Structure 1
Amino acid sequence: MISSSFMVSANANPTIATLSTRSYASSPSSDFLCKSRLVAFPLAASVSVLLWTNPVNAGILSGFSGLESVPGPELPKIDFLNKWNEDNQKKYAELDSQFKSSKVLKELLEKSKQNKERNERLIQDKYCLRGAEWGVGDCSTQGMTQQERDDFVAMLKKRTGEE
């Protein structure tokens, strides 16, 4: 009969315990059991330490909302600066309204709208040309004769400016 016992002995440091084995019968299987237990216990202890969950304590300032929530001191009001600021705000508002109603801005917005529409159409034609050349997508040339395919691709190249 094979039996082994495990003893925990304390070193000089009481928090560290060592595990020693004492075997009564010496055989290869008992050595394997002892070695496997020597590996299993530290492994189980490591896993339990890793998986242990403790609530997080933020400390004494955990309820403090921070310095940015504290209002600063009231600064003195200077009449000259307040009047100057009000005059500047009125002047900037007037200039903004003039610019928004200007003929130049209206022309630029119209050109931008036209360019956007033209660029969208150009990009669609470019992808259609690629799909026609590869034979995939909405512009696929599957089922067309070679002459129809060549004419279609030539028309797309002309629209995209590749010719």
Structure 2
Amino acid sequence: MKNTLLLVTVTIVALGLTACSKTQQPSTVENPDQQTAMQNNAPSMPKNTTVGDTAETSLDWAGEYKGTFPCADCEGINIELELHPDKTYELKEEYISDTKNTEVKTKGSFSFDPNQPSIITLDEKGENRKFFVGENFVEVRDIQTGEKINSSLNYKLVKEMN
């Protein structure tokens, strides 16, 4: 009798410990309509959302960037690129020459590349140019790939701090 009582007690304690150590499994739903309703009510991320920090979400990218780019047939090109919070831009390019400086102004919109979240692409007005957005600078990138241009020349614009 004592052995039976001891066996029952050990069994109850073992079952209690086993129940406490199991993780709760999600319940299965027999009714497919109920399953769909549960999925529709569950919070979800939008399909095109990038998880984690990106240049768009973690950097103060709006502002005016300036620099001078090399030029094959002039002394250089003074560049001013202003990025606005509404994802529009103003691009001013001044071609420096001994005889006459030529200025070209372009306004349009840009977008962050969903596959390369640190890259912005200007619209057709801006000839679809790509820039890498870094901390207080933007740098010209290859138009087709968005990759860094393999050159020792300077293609970086520095953000003006007012």
* TM bin (shorter chain): under 0.3
Bigger Rg over Cα: 1
What TM-score do the two structures reach when normalised by structure 1? 0.24
Q: If each structure's helix is expressed as a fraction of its own residues, which one has the higher value? A: 1
